[in-house]
Amino acid sequence: MQPPLARRDGASPADPYAWLRHPSPEVTAYLAAERAYYDDRTAALAPLAQVILAELRDRTPDTERSVSVDHGPYAYYTVTLPGRELPELRRRMRSGEDRAEETLLDLGSLDSPYAATGVVEPSPDDSLLAYSVDLTGSEVYALRFRDIASGRDIATGQDIASGRDVATGELIEVESTYYTGAWSADGRWFFYTVPDHLNRPHEVWRIDVRTGERLLVLTEPDQRFELTVERSRSGAWIVITSTSRTTTEAWALPADEPDATPTSLRGRVDGVAYAAEHDAAGNRWLFVTNESDEEFALVGDDGLRIANAGERLHDVLAFGPAGDSGCLVTVQRVDGECRIRVLEDGPSGWRTRLELGPDEPGGSIRLGRNEDADAPFVTVVTESFTTPPTWWDVDLRTGERTLRHRREVPHHDASAYASEVVYAVAEDGWRIPIVVTRRTDTPVDGTAPCLLYGYGSYESVDDPWFDPTLLPLLDRGVVFAKAHIRGGGEISRRQWIDGHLLAKRNTFTDFIAAADHLADGIVDGRRIVGRGGSAGGLLQGAVYFMAPQRWAGVMAHVPFVDVVNSMLDTEIPLTITEWEEWGNPGIPEQRASMESYAPYLNLPDPQDRPPLLVTGAVHDPRVLVHEPAKWVAALRYSDPELGHRTSTSDRGSVVFRVELGEGSHGGQVARYAALAEEAEILAWALEVLR
């Protein structure tokens, strides 16, 4: 099959594929042609993909259970049954004789191959369930309320206690909502966020779950900001937070006064970010903020201030009932790793009672869900790229660990693998941590192939996470490496500051420096494949043209590659909210910076191009499908050897795996469909790495 060639619009010479931005039958036909070409060109890889899929399914238990979350007397969790793609939400009593499971919601019964939940919130008395579901991948969620006793969704006029329906009653449903939500203390009102036409959550509403009455609570008119709403861990407050990339404002209203006017906690100051935590034991608000410290400090409205030089503070949790002495749990970054500390207030001030770090080299630790502020323990999660996640309840006084949950991975021996951290050095002296993972019998003497992953945007902290889809690569002698490049947040806020806006090129040169360091005696420099998605897809597009000879192949998933045009288009999602990350093309200096690295505007010489795999999805609301489509179209048009590639591993080959049906920015959510999708991609990577 010959590769498809998209029509070029001669009326728009600077952007000849702009027509792909607007859905039409012609766009649909072009995307379908690209998918058909991908299916045809990768057909030879199908046997290998099937072998990999069998290995992945072999490491997937027939029945999968999630970690439980405590709420009142119940433990809530999900169960995916044998042969099923989508999970069920269940609960059981945490103690007592009757601990039978109740099924609250079966996503497999929604008659869709794709079903992702947004809000899943039991009411304060555990009699109702607020839940929202997206059935396409568009990240727009329909919100409903279920009477747990009857197992039916609530309709107007329904007697919730008895489950009786009134013949004229209509289902209480909000068709378009976003991720977050919170119950009032009496369980009558539910607060939720509503997106605008650009998918920006810009309003908070509350709905009476008995009558369906809806009232607007707060609106955010500034298009740089997005709203979230949640109940404080103390249970006393409803907290609404408006966040841009650099600035925060939070409001609170008493959970037992749902009709109260929200009160701003610290106002809004441009460039000042903060997160709020209510401390019932100390009867105060706590804030993690950069108001006076670039790497953030913990401050309280009673004058408390805690900061440690050289450490990036990320989070604080307050534990202890009102009137108790309580303690604080903080999360910070130290030398590129997470540290979780339990602090107690003593005669000479706050001191560290316990400190927790990763369990192994190249591993990670993070907070689990800790919704009960009165709990005597904090839940943490430890894992690595090859050690399955384990949830521990850590006693706040003694540090004793109690196993809460461990992800089951059949036929997996974590001791057969090893990770370590090595450091590359950028041209300006910045040290770049790289987590290197391999089978213990794979040499690191410059002979093994390597898959190098990177993201490097939004101050995202991408610590090592267990991913069973890595195992087929590792078992075939591939080294997996993850570079903590600038633009991310694994080290510090300075890491992000030096990797966004006019400093964005540092993200790309750091990734190239990481590859060069690995190629200097650790892995085979001729066999390195780069991989990243979304902003990490932009990273891959940038290094694809900046250092094409470095890569044996490049995988750019849902890549943000049309940076300038997208940041000019205020009628697509995430444009104005992204200006503080990427820049505003209306400012000449910022536009020039973006033009210097935008992959759509910077195509490598055809003879230098490594094989390229691109993915996209028609329902993706974050990186609209026209971005990868335009990039692929431009690459095809500029290739004089188009149609003469004999293999997807040939230099210059480009294949575009576009998801034409249900599917999200992150791919499939159904478990076996997700494994099949990844098996295809791994087969391509192994073919490129030979």
The pair of three-digit structure tokens given for residue 620, joined into one six-digit string: 């993706």
The pair of three-digit structure tokens given for residue 391, joined into one six-digit string: 């949830």
CB atoms closer than 10 angstroms to residue 464: 21
CB atoms closer than 10 angstroms to residue 62: 12
Query: DSSP of 482-551, one letter per residue?
Result: EE--BTB-SS-HHHHHTTSGGGTHHHHHHHHHHHHHHHTTTS-TTSEEEEEETHHHHHHHHHHHHSGGG-
Cβ-based neighbours of 67, under 8 Å, separated by 6 or more: 77, 368, 369, 391, 404, 405
Q: Residue 626's closest CA among 10, 23, 9?
A: 23
Alpha-carbon span 628 to 557, nearest angstrom: 9
Alpha-carbon span 420 to 360, nearest angstrom: 9
Catalytic center residues: 534, 620, 665
Contact 476, 686 (CB under 8 A): yes
The pair of three-digit structure tokens given for residue 412, joined into one six-digit string: 């997996």
The pair of three-digit structure tokens given for residue 167, joined into one six-digit string: 């013949």
CB atoms closer than 10 angstroms to residue 447: 13
CB atoms closer than 10 angstroms to residue 95: 9
Three-class SS of 22-67: CCCHHHHHHHHHHHHHHHHHCHHHHHHHHHHHHHHHHCCCCCEECC
Q: Residue 479's closest CA among 528, 430, 546, 413?
A: 528
- Please list the helix, strand and coil fractions of the chain in percent, rounded to the nearest 5, in that order: 20, 35, 45
Contact 261, 301 (CB under 8 A): no
At how many degrees (to 10) do helices 46-58 and 671-689 cross? 130
Alpha-carbon span 331 to 339, nearest angstrom: 6
Contact 538, 507 (CB under 8 A): no
Alpha-carbon span 381 to 365, nearest angstrom: 6
Alpha-carbon span 383 to 392, nearest angstrom: 11
3-class secondary-structure state, position 686: helix
The CA-based dihedral angle spanning residues 93, 94, 98, 102, taken in that order and rounded to the nearest 10 degrees:
30
The CA-based dihedral angle spanning residues 299, 300, 302, 303, taken in that order and rounded to the nearest 10 degrees:
0
Let me know if 346 is exposed, middle or buried by CB neighbors in 10 A (0-12, 13-18, 19+): exposed
Contact 636, 34 (CB under 8 A): no
Residue-level length of the chain? 690
